[in-house]
Structure 1
Amino acid sequence: MDEGSPDGLLFKDHGFSSDLLRQLNALRQSRILTDVSICTGAQEVPCHRNVLASSSPYFQAMFCGSFRENREAKVQLKGINAPTLEQIVCYVYTGEVYIASENVLPLMEAASMLQYPKLFEACSSYLQGQLAPSNCLGMLRLSEILSCQTLKKKAREVALTHFPEVAASADLKELCALELRDYLSDDGLCGEEEKVFEALMAWIKHDLQARKQYVQELFKQVRLQYIHPAFFHHFIANDTLLQSSPACRTILEMARRQVFSLYGTCAPDCKPLLHIPPRNSYQDFLILLGGRKDSQQTTRDVLLYNRLTDQWQSLPQLPARLYKPSAITLHRSVYVLGGMAVSSGRSLVSHSVYIFSLKLNQWRLGEPMLVARYSHRSTAHKNFIFSIGGLGEGQELMGSVERYDSVFNIWERMASMPVGVLHPAVAVKDQRLYLFGGEDIMQNPVRLIQVYHISRNTWFKMETRMIKNVCAPAVVLGERIVIVGGYTRRILAYDPQSNKFVKCADMKDRRMHHGATVMGNKLYVTGGRRLTTDCNIEDSASFDCYDPETDTWTSQGQLPHTLFDHACLTLQCIPHVSTLP
């Protein structure tokens, strides 16, 4: 609108500039007042110097400086074809240009050379809209050539987030060694390490003679400690190309000793593989599995909690209704072991193992345990699962222990615990498996710490008055093992090095039959049963978090329903669109 003042009126004709530009274009098309021709090859396009000079710094320097072009009637532009020149001049006079797949690249190159940044970014936006896993690496290389940061950022994002599809594209095989190293080393790469290894080997074998010299440097980009041990054993450890490189053989041996074996460590001067972090694309998810829901019968429900969205999601149900199985996570999968299978009013103690893959979003049967058991405890260490104690088919209290080897897919009998107990708190730290407390067959608390030396397959026990937990979980939090409740509010942190306990901040309620897990160096406690002040037992839906840095508890809200005798696990994996919110 026009602006008034006491002394006059400021008139603004908002269409004047565009009308003027249209008139200038009409004059150009009629070759009226044109004073220069822009040429490419035999093509000549008449223009007005002052219009060109006003449109870009490139032409301003050409026609307003001391260059000879400011006096010549014809100016030759190299590196621009005739159709592109026509479109550039049309853009200068109208502010419009049609961008399509057949002209976007020459237009972008011309816009870069002639310094039309808005046209350059418009071409970049068009290319970003065409990005796909099949072409993002080519776009990434193009963005480097054209120094286009917006296209580079978007192409890189697609290349990282769609790694499995990109790895299968022809463009990956055309990368140079430096480009491939930069790509595979990125912390944001959304792909399992097995796929990273396969992509690397496919690249090398595409031109084996020329590329095998890079195998040592590129193999270092594969984070071996996050490889499934069976894949490592069958596809990596004895690969002939890797074995032909002394440096790669050293890396393989280090990985075998540190990560894929219960025995041995690397030399003191070697950088531990375990200290290399997972890629940023890996996330921690909390899984709740089975248990008693809303005081009803044992449930088959499986729930996933995403900390980033603060949302709960239902996953595929357990294949069977199981009373007091045990569950652990290993190799980005959930293992559910044993339990009492309840079906059609019948109960049968099970030795079955069910495995859930979040990536595939489905369950499958695993190798069954040697002994059917329920109310037992399980834990994982490196590539092994230990199944401990519990009740057998005749309701007998068992002290037996068996171990699952995930490399060879077999179960083995191990040394039995010194004292058979039910519902102890169990955790692994520094090559030792710790059983805290529990109860005997008469349901009396057992004041013992039982310690299993994993590599030696031997046990010893220690009596202590500090222990009186029953139906309590234990977790490793930093350098300590934390025993969470167990008919008490008390939280005890045990230091295996000093063999001493430290008391932490109490929980709000006296809890048992609850779940606990660690995510991001914080302790999360879910559900369970609580003892009220008048000694009644209530089922709980509480969801609490303990921060060891501040020694404080905070509520995370409520579970979707009350729940106890359930498994509470942390599953670290790369989220997949098909399975996660």
Structure 2
Amino acid sequence: MCPGKRMNQSSPDVLHYKDKELASSLLVQLNLLRKDRILTDVVLCSEDTEVPCHRNVLVSSSPYFRAMFCSNFQESVQPRVVLKGVAPEVLSAVVDYVYTGAISITVELVLPLMQVSSMLQYGRLFEACSTFLQTQLGADNCLGMMRLGEVLHCTSLHQKACEVAACCFPAMAASDDFPGLSLAELTSVLGDDRLCAGEEQVFETMLAWIKHDPPARRSALHDLFRKLRLRHIHPTYLFQFVAGDPLVRSSPLCSELIEAVQRLLFSMGTAPRPDVIEDVWDSPRREACREALVLIGGRKNGRQTSREALLFNEGTQQWQKLAKLPVRLYRASYTCVERVLYVLGGLVSNASHTGTPTNGVYTLSLNTNQWRAAEPMLAPHYAHQSVSYLHFVFTLGGVATDGQLCGAVERYNTMFSQWEAMAPMPTPVLHPAVAAHDQRIYVFGGEDAEQIPVRMIQVYHMARNLWCKIETRMVKNISAPAAVIGDKIYIVGGYTRRTIAYDTKANRFVKCENMKDRRMHHSATAINNKLYVTGGRYINSREIIEDSDGFDCYDPESDAWSSKGKLPYRLYDHGAVSLIYVSSKSFTP
């Protein structure tokens, strides 16, 4: 058959063939030629070791050798080239790598190999050494690796070493290398958003570094102090321990920063913000500071009042048991300030199960997982509400010891452990939705002493200690929680499926997607800009009230509800708060 006549008219005119084995086969043959010294035209020398090579192979593999052999350098015509500073075993390993593409990197070989690959401009080999060193990183050597990365201009190693230093901060700060850090290195570490430590520990570590050599390092205090996220240090620690430290007191600039923070906190944030703390005050929490959902108290499985405290681990999607409340408290109130959970008032269970009103206050710190008794409220209350703002805790209304509905408001200063009476609510209500935002406390709805729904918003201005009332038909909630996301306050349920958001800036309500069930006596809190609703009681399809173990999430971005699974048990009239904790992130090489 003639080539011009096709058996199949769709056959291609050209066959594009690529021999996939040629490149590797060529390297194998070149390496065999090298070992037999066939056609080799240059010898690389190190001490008493001589390695014959082909110039064209070296030139093709490295810009360093291209410049050496393709320019007017004397090495371009010399039969022997001495590579100074290159150990014989490293030279042999590099040449083997050039001809085979394979090399064994060991702990003993990695550093000289990395230096030589940098000098000879073998970039992929250099990064392979960096990858190997990254697998060896730990708290005890990460600071040395940071310096090595800088010296060798190895960005990948330096960045990974910084990550390990941040993730393993407590152990790194206890290492032998830590006291020898330069000011620039320590400043870089303390300024890292990934630092796995609370600001209190950052402060103590900073002081330890300075006290290692006070005469030389005292002058660095102010620059280091500005790396502290002052807004996220508990005021008690800030003003008792930080402000009271002799080194801090000796620095006028540090004292000025603390005084500026103090003025802001005492003024509820209404005072003009001094320029001196602008960047310090606006610094966000470090990435390791996470929000965790904690459930506390309530009526468990429809029977006795619970002493349980549970923390939801977002990573494992599991509930973790915390220390139990010292006493059984029913219809207490719950709130938190940073990493401290507050349980206030309630009914102390007794043998007759009637309960005795208490003014007791208990706190739980996630750092110690231990409960302690705090300064009691001015008067016993139960079925009241609590919110926190900055370092203050407010309690509102509830039922007094005489069984009467009251509108009393008390404010607790966590900095000085002091309670004081504030202006009472204009209209005492039971079971309202309460939230604090932008120096104000919003009290939505609830019911009066006659169990009649109250259709109003009562707003308390913290700095002025004044109340105002807003009548509105949009509010008709009883036993519904509220939570703040951005400038909106979300009110969830309350004998209804309805979810609404009050826009505090626009002073208007926005309707949101309904819940699946009509729910009441549940709890809600905001974590990472999502709304988490737990437990409560719901009205089923047969109009019967049942206890709930539901665990649901509302996303304002998508205006959609999703299930997070189930609580470990049915629960209502409990607390759900968002606590800050420092996660111990694990480093992965």
Match of 2:487 in 1: 479
Deviation per residue, 1:94-121 (Å, 9 max, x gap)? 7665544333211210122123344423
Judge conservation of contact 1:289–1:566 (CA < 8 Å) in 2.
yes
Alpha-carbon distance in 2 for matches of 1:397, 1:87: 85
* Paired residues of 2:27 and 2:99 also in contact (CA < 8 A): no
Quick check: 1:259–1:274 contact (8 Å CA) kept in 2? Answer: no
In structure 2, the partner of 1:192 is: 198
What amino acid sits opposite 1:483 in the alignment?
I
Give 3-state SS (helix, strand or coil) of 1:115's partner.
coil
Aligned to 2:342: 335
Equivalent positions of 1:376-387 (< 5 A) are 376-387=384-395
Could you tell me which of 565, 582, 586 is aligned with 1:574?
582
Asked if the contact 1:489–1:506 (Cα under 8 Å) also holds between the matched residues in 2, the reply is no
Post-superposition offset of 1:197: 2.1
Cα deviation code 1:289-311 (max 9, x no counterpart) = 3323443433344444455x482
8 Å CA contact retained: 2:198, 2:289: no
* Partners of 1:328 and 1:334 within 8 A in 2: yes
Deviates more, 1:211-220 or 1:93-102: 93-102
Cα pair 2:339 2:580 within 8 Å, conserved: yes
The answer to whether the Cα contact below 8 Å between 2:474 and 2:509 also exists between their aligned partners in 1 is no
1:452: Cα distance to partner?
4.0
The 1:471–1:46 alpha-carbon spacing in structure 2 relative to 1, beyond 3 Å, is closer
Q: What's the counterpart of residue 296 of structure 2?
A: 289
Which consecutive residues of structure 1, in runs of 5 or more, have no partner in the other structure?
A: 1-5
1:256 aligns with 2:252: no
Report the alpha carbon displacement of residue 195 of structure 1 after superposing the two structures with TM: 2.0
Equivalent residues in 2 for 1:215-226 (5 A)? 215-226=221-232
Per-residue deviation at 1:477? 3.4
Q: TM-score, normalised by structure 2?
A: 0.82
Equivalent in the alignment of 1:45: 50
Q: How does 1:193-272 map to 2 (within 5 A)?
A: 193-259=199-265, 262=268, 265-267=271-273, 271=278
Alignment of 1:385-464 (within 5 A): 385-392=393-400, 395-447=403-455, 449-457=457-465
Higher alpha-carbon deviation: 324-333 or 42-51: 42-51
> Would the alpha carbon gap of residues 82 and 366 (structure 1) be closer, same or farther in structure 2, given more than 3 Å must change?
farther
Describe the SS at the equivalent of 2:546.
Answer: strand
Counterpart for residue 524 of structure 1? 532
In structure 2, do the counterparts of structure 1 residues 451 and 554 end up closer, same or farther at CA, with 3 Å as the change threshold? closer
3-state SS in 1 of match to 2:115: helix
The residue number in structure 1 matching 2:75 is 69
Match of 2:117 among 107, 111, 135: 111
Give the 3 Å change call, closer, same or farther, for CA 345–97 of structure 1 in structure 2. farther
Map of 2:135 onto structure 1 = 129
After TM superposition, the score normalised by the length of structure 1 is: 0.83
Within 5 Å, give how 1:312-323 maps onto structure 2.
312-316=318-322, 318-319=324-325, 320-323=327-330
8 A Cα contact 1:492 1:501, kept in partner: no
**1:394 CA drift (Å):** 5.7
Q: CA deviation at 1:254?
A: 2.0
Change (3 A) 1:24 1:95: farther
Equivalent residues of 1:373, 1:392 under 8 A apart: yes
Distance 1:516 1:12 in 2: 64
Tell me the distance in 2 between the aligned counterparts of 1:250 and 1:540.
Answer: 52
The answer as to whether partners of 1:37 and 1:44 remain within 8 angstroms in 2 is no
Shift of 1:158: 0.9
Q: Is contact 1:290-1:318 (8 Å) kept?
A: no
Amino acid at match of 1:516: A
When residues 234 and 48 of structure 1 are mapped into structure 2, their CA distance, relative to the original with a 3 A threshold, is same
CA contact (8 A) 1:389 1:420 kept: yes
Structure 2, unaligned runs of 5 or more: 1-14
Letter in 2 for 1:537: I
Which structure has more relative contact order (CA 8 Å, sep 6+)? It is 2
Letter in 1 for 2:132: Y
Q: Go from structure 1 to structure 2 and tell me whether the alpha carbon gap of 1:243 and 1:11 turns closer, same or farther (over 3 Å shift).
A: closer
Please, which moves more after superposition, 80-89 or 249-258? 80-89
Q: Which secondary structure does the structure 1 equivalent of 2:561 belong to? A: strand
Q: Tell me which amino acid in the other structure corresponds to 1:523.
A: L
| Whole-angstrom distance in 2 between the partners of 1:336 and 1:153 | 43
User: Is this contact kept in 2: 1:21–1:94, CA < 8 A?
Assistant: no
Q: 1:11 & 1:438 partners in 2: Cα distance?
A: 77
Q: Deviations over 1:259-279 (max 9, x none)?
A: 366475134767386543222
Across the aligned residues of Structure 1 and Structure 2, the Cα RMSD in angstroms comes to: 3.8
Amino acid at match of 2:529: N
Secondary structure at 1:126 match in 2: helix
State the identity as a percent: 45
More divergent stretch after superposition (49-58 vs 154-163): 49-58
Asked whether the equivalents of residues 162 and 190 of structure 1 are also in contact (C-alpha less than 8 Å), the reply is yes
Amino acid at match of 1:201: L
Equivalent-residue separation in structure 1 for 2:320 and 2:21 (angstroms): 62
2:150 matched to 1:141? no
Deviation of the 1:226 alpha carbon: 0.3
User: 1-side partners of 2:541 and 2:447: how far apart?
Assistant: 24
Which shows bigger deviation, 182-191 or 106-115?
Answer: 182-191
Instruction: Return closer, same or farther for 1:565/1:101 CA change in 2, 3 Å cut-off.
Output: same
Deviation per CA, 1:133-186: give whole Å up to 9, x if none: 121121122112222233223212212212222223343333333333333222
Change (3 A) 1:275 1:96: closer
Q: 1:428 to 1:24 in 2, by over 3 A?
A: same
Aligned to 1:180: 186
- CA separation in 1, counterparts of 2:495 and 2:162? 53
Q: CA deviation at 1:328?
A: 1.0
Match of 1:364 in 2: 371
Q: Which moved more, 1:517-526 or 1:47-56?
A: 47-56
TM-superposed CA distance for 1:131, in Å, is 0.5
Task: Call closer, same or farther: CA 1:296–1:74 in 2, change over 3 Å.
Answer: same
Q: Is the 8 A contact 1:544 1:553 kept in 2?
A: no
- Check conservation: 1:472, 1:485, Cα contact below 8 A: yes
Distance in 2 (alpha carbons) for counterparts of 1:527 and 1:213: 55
**Aligned partners of 2:440, 2:36: CA distance in 1, in Å?**
88
Is 1:543–1:559's contact at 8 Å kept on the other side of the alignment?
A: yes
482-491 or 13-22, larger mean C-alpha shift:
13-22
Distance 2:500 2:22 in 1: 78
CA shift in 2, pair 1:11/1:456, >3 Å: closer
Alignment match, 1:3: none
Q: Whole-Å Cα distance in 1 between the matches of residues 64 and 260 of structure 2? A: 58
Looking at structure 2, the residues matched to 285 and 259 of structure 1 have their Cα atoms a distance apart, in angstroms, of 25
1:524 CA drift (Å): 3.2
How far does the alpha carbon of each residue in 1:388-442 deviate from its partner, in whole angstroms, 9 at most, with x for none? 3334556454544433322233444555545544322222233333333333444
